[in-house]
Amino acid sequence: MKIIMLGAPGAGKGTQAKKIAAKYNIPHISTGDIFRANIKNGTELGNKAKTYMDQGLLVPDELVVDLVVDRVRQEDCVNGYVLDGFPRTIPQAEALDKALAAIGEKIDHAIDVNVPDENIVHRMSGRRACVGCGATYHLEYAPTKEEGICDACGKELILRDDDKPETVKKRLGVYHEQTQPLIDYYTNAGILKTVDGTIDINDVFQAIVDILGE
């Protein structure tokens, strides 16, 4: 099962992608997580990506496409994968379709997690991310057992640099301009499904399971 998660910054793509990956036993591939790992390790890719990410801008397509195309060809992807944060532009979607078509494959489901802009800024200011394993929490909606400490690995939690309100507003603008056209793209491909992302995390997941099947 090959799945794409669509949705505004903070819609809950990562939250739901992790749950999908666990239930269906497929890898969760997040381009944002890949870039953040590269930034943490000080790689050339990370240094390049950081200049864009810190401003709330998209990393150029040429730095993203090959990375994902190589990743989905790896052995652990034979039974499918859930892509989170990719594609994010029409050229990225076209490049992915082309690369998959060349090996006789295609995306099965594009799931749009729909959350209005009004909810997003509040949500992002409460998000906390682990400096160690990257797990994501929320002060109100997905709290840790011990405040400020990751449940999974015990490391410290921080507010992501790009989750400050001004940068979130910029990211939302970029989303509407460059990523939202993918809704039409996947509607035309006949594989788009929309779920309400404003309800409880577990209810959003149930709506997704209803689409994907048990």
Instruction: Show which residues are catalytic.
Output: 13, 88, 127, 160, 171
Give the nearest distance from C-beta 93 to Mg ion in angstroms. 18
> β-strands 127-130, 28-30: how paired?
unpaired
Tokens of 16: 């739901």
Please tell me whether residue 80 binds ligand AP5 under the rule CB under 6 A: no
Surface-to-core class of residue 72, CB atoms within 10 Å of its CB (0-12 exposed, 13-18 middle, 19+ buried): buried
Q: Which is nearest to 134 in space by CA: 13, 14, 7, 12?
A: 14
For ligand AP5, which residue of 3, 4, 6, 13 counts as binding (CB under 6 A)? 13
Please tell me whether residue 14 binds Mg ion under the rule CB under 5 A: yes
Residue 50: name its binding partner from Mg ion, ligand AP5, none (Cβ under 5 to 8 Å by kind).
none
Please tell me whether residue 127 binds ligand AP5 under the rule CB under 6 A: yes
CA distances from 191 to 29, 156, 163 (A): 19, 39, 31
Site string for ligand AP5, 173-202 (x = CB under 6 A): ------------------------x--xx-
Residue 80: name its binding partner from Mg ion, ligand AP5, none (Cβ under 5 to 8 Å by kind).
none
Judged by CB under 5 A, the stretch of 11-19, 42-50, 150-158, 191-199 that binds Mg ion is 11-19
Q: How far apart are the first and last CA of the chain?
A: 12
Where b means 16+ CB within 10 Å and e means fewer, 165-195 reads: eebbbbbbebbeebbeebbebbeeeebbbbb
Give the nearest distance from C-beta 210 to ligand AP5 in angstroms. 16
Distance CA(213)–CA(107), nearest Å, equals 16
Distance CA(209)–CA(214), nearest Å, equals 6
| Interface with Mg ion (CB under 5 A) | 14
Give the residues lining the site for ligand AP5 (CB under 6 A): 7, 9-15, 31-32, 35, 52-53, 57-59, 64, 85-86, 88, 92, 123, 127, 136-138, 141-142, 162, 171, 197, 200-201, 204
